[in-house]
Structure 1
Amino acid sequence: MKILLGATIALLLGAVGLSWHGMREGTKEASSDEVARLKKQVEELRLEQDRLQLEKQIQQVRASEPVAPQVSASERDLLKAELAAKDAEIARIAEEKAKAERDAKVSQDEEGLLGQRDLEKSDGELRRARLIGEALLMGKVKEFAEDPQFGSFVTFEVVMPENVQTGATLAIRRKTGIIGQIKVSEITPEGAIGNLLPGFGSFKPQPGDELILPPQ
């Protein structure tokens, strides 16, 4: 069909070419519109012929390409198994690497902790500072007041109600040091009140100071 179409186009090209030549030689009166139409028709036919030729060349190239060998089902299963084994090996290596990193971190933390304990054996203040810093937060100072009749006291926010009872003694923590102590005198739904205990010199609690259980 394509060969026949190509031949037909070739014949049409020849016929149109002859008609155009005849018009130029024999009919000088031909209109410019007719000449333009014929030129366009010839160009379209030439383009179609070029397209057919290109398609033919592509088919020839494809026909000359080697056919990929067929892979049997057993070979395909073997390739899948090898790929799965590679994936498992990669996952195993990644897990071993992660475990080694975790073990190294734990070992480093343990070494740091042991080193800290060794230092604390010879430095009681260092141990005390650690205990103060690690103590759980019981409350936070809201306001400090001095009253001639009742003495100095603070109002504070209770953070852990289960550990704060009337009569309990709380230490006032600022950074990693203790600047004073209070004795809880009253607990209300809005907060609590604590009276300053003597023995820490002249100091004034500030809003935000933390209240903890005194370290042993």
Structure 2
Amino acid sequence: MDTIKILLGMITALLVGALAMSWKNFRQEVRDTPKKELGEVQRQIAEIEQQRKLLKEEKDRMMLGMPLAQGQKAPSEAPAIPEVKPQDVPDTGAVFEDDVASKETTPEIPDKPAVPNAEERAKAIAATPAVGKIVQWVEDPNLGTFATLQVIDAAAVKADAVLSVRRGTGILGKLKVSEVEAAEAVASPTAVFGDVKPKEGDEVIVEP
């Protein structure tokens, strides 16, 4: 029993001595630490404390629905994303779906037919075959104004057909066929003719 007590006493003494030596070394290390390093550690501690306060204020603000103080930023606030303008995007030649859709859905406007000039129209009128010829032009107060025609093309000269009176390469006016009998027909003007009246020998055509 005495031996055990002695051993326990020795172990206790060794532990106390080791603890005293560790404490002494710790204090010596603190004294030997450069002031610059201590200042840096203190600054970091102050920043951590400031961040902790900001986090606490942000938490309280979110719970109470209070806005941030002027000039104050939340710790978790994300940086603003810069706006990208169309002119800042490089032209890579890529084709996007919207562009394809707009091209597919936009109807193409057909080109308007070219209006023939006077010379071309005169040539077309002169080249059109005659379907009849005026035999007589009548202007009578009692009977009215009409023309008797010699029928050349019976398929074209028929009742209600509208034909044009040709002289040379020009058109004098239009006649509407009212009666057809054998190789002769009667036609009345669709509008009043001007100073130039139809006469015997003028041809009638289907205007091109």
Q: What is the TM-score with the length of structure 1 in the denominator?
A: 0.41
The structure that is helix-richer by fraction is 1
Greater Cα radius of gyration, structure 1 or 2: 2
Q: What is the TM-score with the length of structure 2 in the denominator?
A: 0.42
